[in-house]
A and B are shown apart, each in its own frame.
Chain A
Amino acid sequence: MNVILTKEELERYKRQIIIPSIGKDGQEKLKKSKVFVAGFGGLGSISAQYLVAAGVGSIKVIDKDVVDISNLNRQIIHWTCDLGKKKAESGLYKLKNLNPHCNIEAISVELDETNVYGIIGDSHIIVDATDNLETRRVLNRVSLEKSIPFIYGGVDGFSGMVTTFVPHETPCFDCLFPFDIKKKGAIGVVGPTPGIIASIQVMEAIKLILGIEGTLKGRLLYFSGIDMLFREVKVEKNPECPVCSRYRAGL
Chain B
Amino acid sequence: MAARDKIEVVINGVREVVPKDITIAGLIEIYNERDGGLIVEQNNRYVFPQRYGSTIVKQGDRIEFINPDFGG
Contacts and interface: CB of A to CB of B under 8 A. Distances in A.
Interface string A16-48: 000000000000000000000001011110000
Interface stretch (B1-9, B22-30, B34-42, B53-61): B34-42
B48 A136 contact: no
B70 A133 contact: yes
Interface string A140-162: 00000000000001111001110
Given A178-B49, A180-B36, A220-B46, A233 B66 contact: yes
Contact of A154 (B41, B45, B70): B70
Interface stretch (A53-61, A88-96, A113-121, A235-243): A235-243
Given A44-B72, A181-B36, A156 B67 contact: yes
A194 B36 contact: no
A177 B68 contact: yes
Nearest to B48: A238
A130 interface: yes
Interface residues of B, number: 19
Contact of A131 (B48, B68, B71): B71
Given A177-B37, A181-B37, A182-B36, A132 B46 contact: no
A129 interface: yes
Which of B35, B44, B69, B72 has most A Cβ within 10 Å?
A: B72
Contacts of A240: 48, 50
Contacts of B69: 154-156, 159-161, 222
Contacts of A156: 67, 69-71
A43 B45 contact: no
B68 A41 contact: no
A233 B71 contact: no
Interface in A186-238: 187, 189, 194, 220, 222, 231-236, 238
Contacts of B68: 154, 161, 177
Contacts of A187: 71
Contacts of A189: 71
Which of A42, A133, A179 has most B Cβ within 10 Å?
A: A179
B39 A154 contact: no
Interface residues of A, number: 40
A153 B68 CA distance: 10
A236 B39 CA distance: 13
Nearest to A43: B72
A138 interface: no
14 contacts: A42-B71, A42-B72, A128-B72, A131-B70, A132-B70, A153-B72, A155-B69, A177-B68, A181-B37, A220-B46, A222-B66, A232-B44, A233-B44, A233-B66
Interface of B: 35-37, 39, 41, 44-46, 48-50, 64, 66-72
Interface of A: 39, 41-44, 128-133, 136, 153-156, 159-161, 175-182, 187, 189, 194, 220, 222, 231-236, 238, 240
The 6 closest A-B CB pairs, nearest first, are: A131-B72, A154-B69, A156-B69, A181-B36, A181-B37, A235-B46
